[in-house]
Amino acid sequence: MKSRIWMIACALMTAGIFGSGCKKTIDDQTAVTDPSLTKNLMALISEKADLSTFAGYLKQTGYDAVIASSRTYTVFAPGNAELATLDAAVKNDPVKLKQFIGNHIATQLYSTKEVTSTTRILMANGKYLTMKGTAIGSAVITTTDQYAANGLLQQVDKMLPALDNCWDFVAGSQSPAKQKAFMLSLFRNVFDATNAVIIGVNPVTGEPVYQAGTDSIFTNLFWNKVHDLRDEKKQFTLFMLEDAAWDAEQARFAPYFVTNTADSNVLVTGWNVVRDFAVDTLYEPGSIPDTILSKSGTKLPVERSAIVNTIRTSNGIVYIMNRINIQPASKLKTILIQGENYTGTSHDRRGNTYFRDRYNPVTGMDYKDVNVFNHGVALFNIRYQLAEVPSIKYKAYWVAVNDFQTASFNQRLAPGIATATTLPYIAVPANNFNEVYLGEFTMAQYQAIYNFYLVAANSTTAAVNPLVCDYIKLVPSL
């Protein structure tokens, strides 16, 4: 039957219906004569005398069984000459040797003819290497695309060492001591209900009650709040300061993070310095820009002349710097408080509170604000909760649109406590859509959590004591 089908197909080809397709199909069938295609990768490697050392390491680490299985792999094999210089600390340590050999085995098929653009490929040890054509990591594939029954063998001109990731470098012996010590001091137990055991419900709040010890994880704040530098799937650029530069940066920003103890001042300052030193983008030495934007929006200037060492890791690059001159105006951000996003009020007046959608003809933009009217409480206030407020002077502004009555009324801001008179009452005239300057106040100390109040007039009269606010803006006065 098969020969009859081929006869019909070729007859149709002769008639011009299939063109040259039949010849290609027949050639493809008859071309599968390479005896290596009947052997798995381990068998193919074992036959090559110049790969005998690599074959021996495969057996030592158990990867011989892996690449002899039915799954598909690509093996990047260095020759005996290349492996002759393998560090004894790797050869004699079973864990390090397995990590090293695993860095030569990719978990999918990668042909040099098909990988024509830079591609990160997953290796058997969980790390990634970059491949493009005959380039793999820092090596070159010298004998390419040798097919086996379960994959490809690529012979390379160099070993492919399993590099530390960015966090491994931070924790290792080669990183600058002071920044390293600080980053290692950031381990904490933090709330995480992912695997928590619920044992009840809080009757007041309705929130779940968790079994003690199950609702937190021990983690590093840098991993948790900035970037997890252990993540092998991503690529990072990390900056570390030499000890003298770290001290200088601490001293430069310490006045903005004053606390009530020297130790907490060091902690808060260090955190606000180091949180801007990593980005989840790889910047190569030859193309690193002169300014990088951190996760928090801080402009991090990069002077190439200040780079004293460049360390390539399995998931990025670490630059050791002798200075990073971040400008305070970039790090110390303007605080924008949306009027409707308050956290509490002095009295329950939900029936008198309105969240309004409006249009501002000055800015040409829609906005939402809060309006509390006819609440009947003297000195009624709305509370806002701010996080991580530096110890600096702020200039205060608001947009408060009185479009609900013709008479003006007074309201004020109160930093810290509702009775604070740091900032005066300001009149809110009818139909003023402009931003209004309210005055200045100074934060004597950094506050991790800080309450800020919008306070109504000291009156119970509806037309005298309304509150209205689109937004409040606190601008650092540097």
Res 188: pLDDT: 79
| Alpha helices (H) along 40-84 | 41-46, 52-61, 63-66, 80-83
Q: How far apart are the C-alpha atoms of 228 and 166, rounded to whole Å?
A: 9
Q: How far apart are the C-alpha atoms of 274 and 240, rounded to whole Å?
A: 9
> Residue 153's beta-bridge partner residues?
75, 146
Note the pTM of the prediction, 2 decimals. Answer: 0.83
Q: How far apart are the C-alpha atoms of 410 and 429, rounded to whole Å?
A: 9
Q: Is the dihedral of CA 12, 18, 21, 25 positive or negative?
A: negative
Say which CATH topology domain 34-156 has. FAS1 domain (2.30.180)
* Domain 335-476 superfamily per CATH: Galactose-binding domain-like (2.60.120.260)
Task: Assess contact for 158 and 144: CB atoms under 8 A.
Answer: no
Q: Is the dihedral of CA 363, 364, 368, 369 positive or negative?
A: positive
Structure confidence at residue 196 as a pLDDT band (50, 70, 90): low
Res 19: pLDDT: 37
Average pLDDT score over residue span 51-77: 97
Residue range 166-326, CATH number: 2.30.180
- Amino acid residing at 475: V
Among 14-18, 305-309, 418-422, which stretch is predicted with the lowest mean pLDDT?
14-18
Res 384: pLDDT: 98
Res 392: pLDDT: 97
Q: How far apart are the C-alpha atoms of 67 and 50, rounded to whole Å?
A: 18
What average pLDDT does the chain have? 91
Q: How far apart are the C-alpha atoms of 251 and 258, rounded to whole Å?
A: 11
- Domain segments of the chain: what residues? 1-31, 34-156, 166-326, 335-476
Share of the chain above pLDDT 90, in %: 85
Q: Do domains 34-156 and 166-326 have the same CATH topology?
A: yes
Res 118: pLDDT: 94
DSSP designation for 290? S
Average pLDDT score over residue span 202-213: 74
Among 179-188, 201-210, 310-319, which stretch is predicted with the lowest mean pLDDT?
201-210
* Residue range 243-256, pLDDT digits in tens: 999 999 999 999 99
* Residue range 375-401, pLDDT digits in tens: 999 999 999 999 999 999 999 999 999
* Residue range 406-450, pLDDT digits in tens: 999 999 999 999 999 999 999 999 999 999 999 999 999 999 999
Residue 67 to residues 38, 141, 240: CA-CA distances in angstroms?
Answer: 14, 19, 40
CB proximity list for 358: less than 8 A, separation 6 or greater:
366, 367, 368, 369, 401, 403, 470
Kind of pairing between the strands at 447-456 and 236-241? unpaired
Task: Assess contact for 41 and 150: CB atoms under 8 A.
Answer: yes
Which letter, b or e, does each residue of 407-419 get, where b requires 16 or more Cβ atoms within 10 Å of its Cβ? Answer: eebbbbbbbeebe
